[in-house]
């Protein structure tokens, strides 16, 4: 029985600390803030985190061969995907915070929802910008 079948049956199964507990950010080094997340020593924790990533990103809706290919990745490859996902989330949050702290109604951040709404309302949005919005809507967490 694989970890995936046992996790799908026991969705409340907890063999590891939560991802939030595993993450240590922001880490301050001098005046810079940087992302840091240690790889768990236990591969079962990495497997659980990868399963959560597959659900979060909608990979469970992929065709079976693609899902099998992802699940067959070595643990190190799964960890890279987990780390990159959390880094992207952290970077997006940093961008949101910077935009919120500097938003005085002047220039909007090009990736902000307000910027896209403004461009659409003005009728000046390009095809490439719409494509970028489409990618952001599929990959970025809402909220």
Coil, helix or strand at residue 37:
strand
Q: What's the confidence (pLDDT) of residue 96? A: 82
Q: Which residues contact 26 (CB under 8 A, 6 or more apart)?
A: 33, 34, 35
Of all residues in the chain, the percent with pLDDT exceeding 90 is 34
Which of 97-106, 113-122, 132-141 is the least confident region?
Answer: 97-106
By CB neighbour count within 10 A (0-12 exposed, 13-18 middle, 19+ buried), where does 78 fall? buried
Helix axes 75-102, 43-56, angle to 10 degrees: 50
Q: What is the mean pLDDT of the chain?
A: 76
Give the dihedral sign, CA 110/34/80/51: negative
User: Between these two residues, 36 and 26, which has the higher pLDDT value?
Assistant: 36
**3-state secondary structure string across 52-86:** HHHHHCCHHHCCHHHHHHHHCCCHHHHHHHHHHHH
Q: State yes or no: pLDDT of 14 exceeds 60.
A: no
User: Between these two residues, 100 and 42, which has the higher pLDDT value?
Assistant: 42
Q: What's the confidence (pLDDT) of residue 31? A: 34
Q: What's the confidence (pLDDT) of residue 67? A: 93
Per-residue model confidence as pLDDT tens digits over 41-59? 999 999 999 999 999 999 9
Helix axes 127-139, 113-122, angle to 10 degrees: 150
CA atoms within 13 A on the CB side of 127: 0
53 contacts 83 by C-beta, under 8 angstroms: no
Q: State yes or no: pLDDT of 15 exceeds 90.
A: no
Confidence of residue 112 (pLDDT cuts 50, 70, 90): confident
User: Between these two residues, 17 and 130, which has the higher pLDDT value?
Assistant: 130
63 contacts 35 by C-beta, under 8 angstroms: no
Per-residue model confidence as pLDDT tens digits over 56-98? 999 999 999 999 999 999 999 999 999 999 999 888 888 888 7
């Amino acid at each position: 029985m694989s970890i995936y079948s046992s996790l799908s049956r026991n969705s409340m199964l907890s063999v590891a600390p939560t991802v939030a507990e595993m993450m240590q950010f922001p880490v301050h080094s001098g005046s810079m803030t940087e992302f840091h997340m240690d790889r768990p020593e236990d591969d079962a924790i990495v497997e659980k985190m990868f399963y959560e990533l597959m659900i979060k990103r909608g990979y469970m809706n992929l065709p079976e061969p693609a899902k099998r290919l992802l699940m067959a990745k070595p643990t190190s490859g799964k960890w890279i995907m987990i780390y990159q996902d959390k880094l992207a989330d952290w970077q997006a949050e940093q961008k949101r915070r910077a935009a919120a702290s500097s938003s005085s109604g002047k220039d909007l951040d090009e990736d902000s929802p307000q910027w896209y709404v403004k461009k659409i309302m003005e009728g000046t949005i390009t095809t490439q910008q719409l494509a970028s919005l489409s990618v952001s809507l599929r990959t970025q967490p809402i909220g």
